[in-house]
Amino acid sequence: MTDRAEEDTVAVRVEDRIAWVSYNRPEKRNCMSPKLNRQMLRVLESLEFREDVGVLVLTGEGDAFSAGMDLKEYFRENEALGIGAIRKSQREAYGWWDRLRWYEKPTIGMVNGWAFGGAYGPLHALDIVVAADDATFGLSEINWGILPGGGASKVAQELMPFRKAIYHAMMGENLTGKQAAEQGLVTESVPADQLHARVTEIAQVLLKKDPNALRATKWAMRRMAEMTFDNAMDYLIRAQEALNGMGGLEARKEATRQFLDEKTFKPGLGAFDA
């Protein structure tokens, strides 16, 4: 097929408060071109504050999640144009991964197939990631003579045990979804025919939680990675106090009332009725 228009490189469907966002270049195994990177940022921004969206899912059309960066449009064509074009396309890619990492709403990755190199950036940015057992993960950079840049090696080093991460980065051998889950790269893996149902189930649980508390929790989990214990203790007090000012105090009072007075819910067994 001829090249897709920029606005067609990402597909979006909103259903029952879940935004299903897909890399939409299946004929190119959803590798990330500059056009796709620009469109993805637009799509993320357009969904972030929509009232009919409570959870965002990122997946890929066809048999790939994403085959990483586009070796033609992202690397070769920009390298021919020089450092200005290279930096611009890096900013476009890293820009939407960063927006996703600090997204206001909970995010889930649904890894349906190939996930290589640059795809590890968005993977790390997503809060929860479910892969098909037979999905394929690879830091293939070493197979074509570069290091896993664009954060990919940092992602592996941060999420996987060190011995597994360095082997993964140096050997260029792929992992199945099942192995990726065992090694911490993704949250869990399920048989491919259960992937959509499992992601929907997780999204529905998240939709029942208080959105402000969820946002504060996911940001705290990321921020604390670089804090001392004392700094984290202090940060968490401040974050909860900020949350109180966003309706958190009322939410907590109501939840406590439903538990202690009404006895209609138990916090240990599920979310209160907001």
Q: Which residues bind ligand ACO (CB under 6 A)?
A: 28-29, 31, 67-72, 114, 116-118, 140-141, 150
Nearest-CA neighbor of 56 among 121, 113, 126, 115?
Answer: 126
Q: Which is closer to ligand ACO, CB of 93 or CB of 243?
A: 93
Q: Which is closer to ligand ACO, CB of 20 or CB of 23?
A: 23
Smallest distance, Å, CB 89 to ligand ACO? 12
The whole-angstrom distance between residue 107's C-alpha and the CA centroid of its chain comes to 6
Query: Which residue type occupies 271?
Result: A
- 48, 51, 55, 58 alpha-carbon torsion, rounded to 10°: -50
Smallest distance, Å, CB 230 to ligand ACO? 38
Q: Which is closer to ligand ACO, CB of 28 or CB of 215?
A: 28
Smallest distance, Å, CB 35 to ligand ACO? 13
Q: Which is closer to ligand ACO, CB of 67 or CB of 185?
A: 67
Long-range residue pairs from 204-211, CB within 8 A, at least 24 positions apart, any chain: 205/271, 206/54, 206/55, 206/106, 206/108, 207/17, 207/18, 207/54, 207/55, 208/270, 208/271, 208/274, 209/271, 210/248, 210/251, 210/271, 210/274, 211/54, 211/105
Rounded Cα distance, 192 and 170, in Å = 28
Q: Which is closer to ligand ACO, CB of 47 or CB of 142?
A: 142
Smallest distance, Å, CB 28 to ligand ACO? 4
Q: Which is closer to ligand ACO, CB of 127 or CB of 141?
A: 141
Smallest distance, Å, CB 172 to ligand ACO? 9
What is 167-199 written as a DSSP string? Answer: HHHHH---EEHHHHHHTTSSSEEE-GGGHHHHH
3-class DSSP assignment, residue 263:
coil
219 contacts: CB under 8 Å, gap ≥ 6:
102, 239
Q: Determine how many CB atoms are found less than 10 A away from the CB of residue 14.
A: 14
Q: Which is closer to ligand ACO, CB of 75 or CB of 235?
A: 75
Smallest distance, Å, CB 65 to ligand ACO? 10
Smallest distance, Å, CB 270 to ligand ACO? 40
